Amino acid sequence: MKISIIIPAYNEAQNLSFLLPEIKKFFLTSDNPLEIIVVDDGSEDDTERVAREEGVHVLRHPYNMGNGAAIKTGLRNATGDVCVFIDADLQHPPQEISKLIEPLGEYEMVIGVRRSSAQKLHRRIANRFFNMLASYVTGRKILDLTSGFRAVKTEAAKKFISLLPNGFSYPTTLTLAFLKTGRGVKFLPVDSNPRNTGRSKISLLQDGIRFVLIIAKIATVYSPFRVFLPISFFFFITGLLYYIYTFSAFHRFTNMSLLLFTTSVLIFMLSLIAEQIAQLYIKESE
């Protein structure tokens, strides 16, 4: 089994000078052939030079396109049977990679679940919210939706390249897409550390909104009922309660009640159409 390790990097020269030798040292004892791909996402420092000096396969974007775009570039050029995504910020020790690869005979994707103590409080709260929302959409408990440390079968991952966004929310999209199409996903606790140097490039507010929109997008693509039915139910219950109030107070059925009931029915009918379209999309993509 050939392994492709894909490392998206933007201004990560200092971290790569430590990470790449560690990965190579760890896999020198491995019987599996190894391919290391560093995708330099338009860095302004010596990221490209450091990676080339380590003798790995370097792909460079002409300008900063985003973390997800770097992952897509790496996926398109990967020749391994298995792809391992690992960030260049030294959050994950290279020896943890073997933990992710072992279960891939049974699963199609293994996600490294980070220790909550390694995250700042506000990010811990945000990740918990995203995990709960994604768990509702997929019907399965998700332990770490946004982890960028994962191993996946290359053939399966390439099916979803067109869905992956260019920003930091590619792990969200990939996780939801795998779960909603019935592919085996395992959440595996791994060691993790706070970011070694520099600041995180993820904006909690801006990228947080993107995460929520991505979850809604994947839900409407693969499981529209999960989005539309609660909204339809909300309008129906609101209309019913308003009708009970107006009937008991004024003994009449108001236009507002009619509007709320009509909106509920229209959203429900829209969800039926969206569900049929989703099934056709899934069939075509497979």
Cα dihedral sign, 159-41-192-199: negative
Show me where the domains of the chain are located. Answer: 3-222, 225-285
CA neighbor of 19 nearest in space, from 89, 68, 114: 89
Instruction: Give 3-state DSSP helix, strand, coil % of the chain, rounded to 5.
Output: 55, 15, 30
User: What pLDDT is attached to residue 122?
Assistant: 63
Q: Specify the range with the lowest mean pLDDT, choosing from 124-133, 204-213, 276-285.
A: 204-213
Question: How far is the C-alpha of 58 from the C-alpha of 29, rounded, in Å?
Answer: 23
Average pLDDT over residues 266-280: 89
Q: Is 182 left (phi over 0), alpha (psi -120 to 50) or beta?
A: left
Q: Does the pLDDT at position 24 exceed 70?
A: yes
pTM of the entire structure? 0.80
Average pLDDT over residues 78-98: 90
User: What pLDDT is attached to residue 212?
Assistant: 78
- Residue 5 binned pLDDT confidence (cut-offs 50, 70, 90): very high
Question: How far is the C-alpha of 109 from the C-alpha of 183, rounded, in Å?
Answer: 8
Q: Does the pLDDT at position 204 exceed 60?
A: no
* Distances in whole angstroms, Cα of residue 241 to Cα of each of 237, 244, 248, 257: 6, 5, 11, 9
Question: How far is the C-alpha of 137 from the C-alpha of 149, rounded, in Å?
Answer: 22
Question: How far is the C-alpha of 218 from the C-alpha of 177, rounded, in Å?
Answer: 7
Q: Does the pLDDT at position 283 exceed 60?
A: yes
Average pLDDT over residues 104-114: 92
Q: Does the pLDDT at position 261 exceed 60?
A: yes
Q: Does the pLDDT at position 140 exceed 80?
A: yes
Please give the residue that has the higher pLDDT: either 75 or 214. Answer: 75
Please give the residue that has the higher pLDDT: either 33 or 65. Answer: 65
| Average pLDDT score, the chain | 86
Question: How far is the C-alpha of 46 from the C-alpha of 118, rounded, in Å?
Answer: 28
Q: Name, in order, each residue with C-beta under 8 angstroms of 65's C-beta and a sequence gap of 6 or more.
A: 41, 42, 166
The architecture that CATH gives domain 3-222 is: Alpha-Beta Complex (3.90)
Q: Does the pLDDT at position 94 exceed 70?
A: yes
* Distances in whole angstroms, Cα of residue 240 to Cα of each of 24, 76, 229, 267, 269: 65, 53, 16, 16, 19
